[in-house]
Amino acid sequence: MELFSFLRGRVQICASIWFWIVLLFMLQNSRGTASASTYLIGLGSYDITGPAADVNMMGYANSEQIASGVHFRLRARTFIVAEPQGNRVVFVNLDACMASQLVKMKVIERLKARYGNLYTENNVAISGIHTHAGPGGYLQYVVYIVTSLGFVRQSFDALVDGIEQCIIQAHENLRPGSVFVNKGQLLNTGVNRSPSAYLNNPASERNKYKYNVDTEMALLKFVDNEWGPVGSFNWFATHGTSMSRTNSLISGDNKGAAARFMEDWFEENNSGSGASPIKKEKIPRRVSNIIPSMRKKYDKLIDLAATFQSSGGRHATRLLSVVRRVRSDSRQADKPRFVSAFCQTNCGDVSPNVLGAFCTDTGLPCDFNQSTCNGKNELCYGRGPGYPDEFESTRIIGDRQFRKAVDLFNGASEQLNGKVDYRHTFKDFSKLEVTLPKQGGGNEVIKTCPAAMGFGFAAGTTDGPGAFDFRQGDNKGNAFWRLVRNVLKTPSKEQIDCQKPKPILLDTGEMKEPYDWAPSILPIQILRIGQLVILSVPGEFTTMAGRRLRDAVRTVLTSGGQFNNNIHVVIAGLTNTYSQYITTLEEYEVQRYEGASTLYGPHTLSAYIQQFQKLAESLLSGNQVDAGPQPPDLLDKQISLLTPVVVDGTPLGVKFGDVNTDIPANSTFKKGDMTTVTFWSACPRNDLMTEGTFALVEILKDKDTWIPVYDDDDFCLRFIWGRPWKLSTRSHATIEWRIPQSVVSGVYRIRHFGAAKSLLGSIQHFTGTSRAFVVV
């Protein structure tokens, strides 16, 4: 009996062990199934910097803001999420002021020629970050290209080419993977620049929210099954106006800076299975593994540097600029490059100039209601956190977004699961019927209006004031400017009544010469990835307008039973085309800048909400929607008055690339110092150096090998170009390097790459090199 009992006990123990082994195996399999990838994911990135000279910048509508160099390069970044045997969606984020209807048309034409109907206007969204420091001239409507002297083909082509290439990259990178979502609060990165308009919203509505700007950042984390994390996209509301209207260097502003910081952080810190926390004492670098260790005897470094004098200009190939750039594909491993995008959302009334708006003459705060100083708008400017240094303000606001994105990225655990789907339609917002509830009960049908801009539009904002005697909050206008307006187009009584209480300064929707001044047919689009829904809006929603739109769509989706309360609704602003601002009815009544720039009348927001609700309903039902009327293709009608580059020249005995002002001999610099060198150069429009660089910092490794460490895609390096006078054939390129705190001591030199145009029209590429110097 004892033996039998012993054996029976052993059998029970073994059975129990096997039970737990099997159960553990099943649980592991169950967890694996729950977190297994349900999508194919692919990411891509490509240079869209465009012409860095002579072209007016898009955003401030300041005709004197002409590009003359590069702060850091602009990029198009994209993700594709696809069901293995089903739908797919494409989202493209541009380091540009906004998307362009014409650009999207031509991109879709190219994609259809390459992939058939795989990528169409329905499932591709193209969005801008709203930097005000990128080249203009790429939109097709007159009012948006007046200050750029019409259409700029180089700006347009750079965008179309770059978007196409980044989508091709993402398509070719499609692999099984997962997408995770995370959200968090980010403070002190935006303030409401029209608080008086916001206060006109109902108190009961305002009381629902702690702040008068949205403080939530929503982030997607893309994880490849084999490689691990390969990218992130996030949406957060703050304007791309840290760089002022006097800046002339191409820049991605605070969001472009944040993207560069995060991509470099990941490349430097990624260990293959995750990412490391931020090193708070410095902006991260990605080249520390190729830089030699610190040498103790600086006198030997100085002696070594003295053996490398400036080389003088010499012929080069364009390829040299591409392969020498720090992030050259020739030095990229097989693993896909990490792509991080900082996208725009409902930023309409949100400024990054968080210190507030002050009068430049007195230093006192500007008038609260009209943002004026002694009745004048020209002296009222917002101040960024690095005031008076706008580059520092850009870095700080970018850094705050970057650090929050890293926190969300590292903590992202909610996986997106479910359908990939989309809906898209075109609607004519110049005469769209909108059903609204009446105060006494029942409904009424109203119509939106042809586009028009009010007097408050010309006053500008505290980020970039207007001119003359215009003021924000002007709901009357004045006789003189009405007379000027009538020379262009006198609005009809019907239009005046439709737009009330906006006094019409420019009746752009009814101005058709030499072609359309403003859009009327707008794209409305929803993208779905599991429990995430992206609302593609072709304009700038204010804070409260965005909240109302998100809430309306969320209500529709959660009432259908397919989504629970954990649904994530994100607004992607400035997407697919541009139609200026969208305010609430109450904000419209105040007629500050945003209300005066709400084109289609007081019920513009209601029209958007109605149309997005219909798309949301069609997502639930599975029904398709009508394509709607096609917008015009105005490419053949475009007019360009920008003078082409005729010829480049240098003084007798001087070659392109020769140093004009060199680094002083035997120079030693410390971290934080600025080094400057000037070269004889040529117009950057001769070659945009796409995926290349105009400027390069190299460090000496061993005794004769120079390693690229910084280029004009880096925040710390500035390429500044200019002529001594407007029509001169001669020009200079000044390269400024603010030495980062993270730099390694050693011997450095600065190089310039360029391209000159001869009288016969041929292009000659060149390079020049400064004297070597020591950083300690």
Percent of the chain with pLDDT over 70: 91
pLDDT band at 617 (very low <50, low <70, confident <90, very high): very high
DSSP class of 640: B
pLDDT band at 275 (very low <50, low <70, confident <90, very high): low
- From the list 643, 644, 658, 653, the residue with the least C-alpha distance to 731 is 658
Q: How far is CA 103 from CA 29, 121, 155, 246, 575, in A?
A: 47, 11, 10, 27, 11
Q: What is the mean pLDDT of residues 607-615?
A: 98
Largest CA distance in the chain: 115
Q: What is the mean pLDDT of residues 744-759?
A: 96
Q: What is the mean pLDDT of residues 121-132?
A: 98
Please write the tens of the pLDDT for every residue from 294-339.
445 678 888 899 999 999 899 999 899 999 999 887 555 677 899 9
Whether 146 shows a pLDDT value over 80: the answer reads: yes
pLDDT band at 273 (very low <50, low <70, confident <90, very high): very low
Q: In 325-419, which ranges are E strands? A: 339-343, 350-351, 356-359, 380-383, 414-415
Q: Enumerate the β-bridge partners of residue 582.
A: 541
Whether 514 shows a pLDDT value over 80: the answer reads: yes
Helix (H) or strand (E) segment spanning residue 764: strand 763-769
Torsion of CA 507, 508, 511, 513, to 10 degrees: 140
Quote the pLDDT of residue 27.
34
pLDDT band at 278 (very low <50, low <70, confident <90, very high): low
Q: What is the mean pLDDT of residues 732-738?
A: 98
Regarding predicted confidence, which is higher, 477 or 440?
Answer: 477
Quote the pLDDT of residue 31.
33
Whether 532 shows a pLDDT value over 50: the answer reads: yes
Quote the pLDDT of residue 566.
86
Helix-helix angle 543-559:604-621, to 10 degrees? 30
Average pLDDT in the chain: 91
Quote the pLDDT of residue 276.
54
Lowest mean pLDDT among 273-277, 289-293, 421-425, 670-674: 289-293
Q: In 87-142, which ranges are E strands? A: 88-94, 124-128, 134-135
Cα separation, 343 vs 352, in Å, equals: 15
Whether 758 shows a pLDDT value over 60: the answer reads: yes
Lowest mean pLDDT among 236-250, 384-398, 464-478: 464-478
pLDDT band at 439 (very low <50, low <70, confident <90, very high): confident
Give me the domains of the chain, ranges plus CATH numbers: 39-270+332-431+516-637 (no CATH), 644-775 (2.60.40.2300)
State the binding site for Zn(2+).
130, 239, 540, 581
Quote the pLDDT of residue 441.
85
- From the list 296, 205, 245, 214, the residue with the least C-alpha distance to 62 is 245
CB 76 within 8 A of CB 46: yes
CB 692 within 8 A of CB 754: no
Torsion of CA 664, 667, 671, 673, to 10 degrees: -20
Cα separation, 199 vs 500, in Å, equals: 20
Lowest mean pLDDT among 160-169, 240-249, 701-710: 701-710
Quote the pLDDT of residue 299.
82
- From the list 68, 392, 55, the residue with the least C-alpha distance to 247 is 68
State the binding site.
130, 239, 540, 581
Please write the tens of the pLDDT for every residue from 281-296.
333 344 444 444 444 5
Whether 10 shows a pLDDT value over 50: the answer reads: no
Quote the pLDDT of residue 13.
40
The answer, yes or no, to whether the previous bond of 501 is cis (omega within 30 of 0) is yes
Alpha carbon 168 to chain centroid, angstroms: 20
Please write the tens of the pLDDT for every residue from 24-40.
333 333 333 334 568 99
Positions marked active-site: 351
pLDDT band at 96 (very low <50, low <70, confident <90, very high): very high
Q: What is the mean pLDDT of residues 615-625?
A: 96
Cα separation, 316 vs 679, in Å, equals: 15
CA angle 18, 20, 25 (to 5 degrees): 95
Q: How far is CA 324 from CA 161, 528, 657, 749, in A?
A: 22, 40, 16, 14
Report the half-sphere exposure of 50 (CA within 13 A, side-chain side): 34
Quote the pLDDT of residue 45.
98
Please write the tens of the pLDDT for every residue from 626-660.
999 999 999 999 999 999 999 999 999 999 999 99
Q: What is the mean pLDDT of residues 715-733?
A: 96
Q: What is the length of the chain?
A: 776
CB 493 within 8 A of CB 398: no
Cα separation, 430 vs 579, in Å, equals: 12
Quote the pLDDT of residue 156.
98
CB 204 within 8 A of CB 537: no
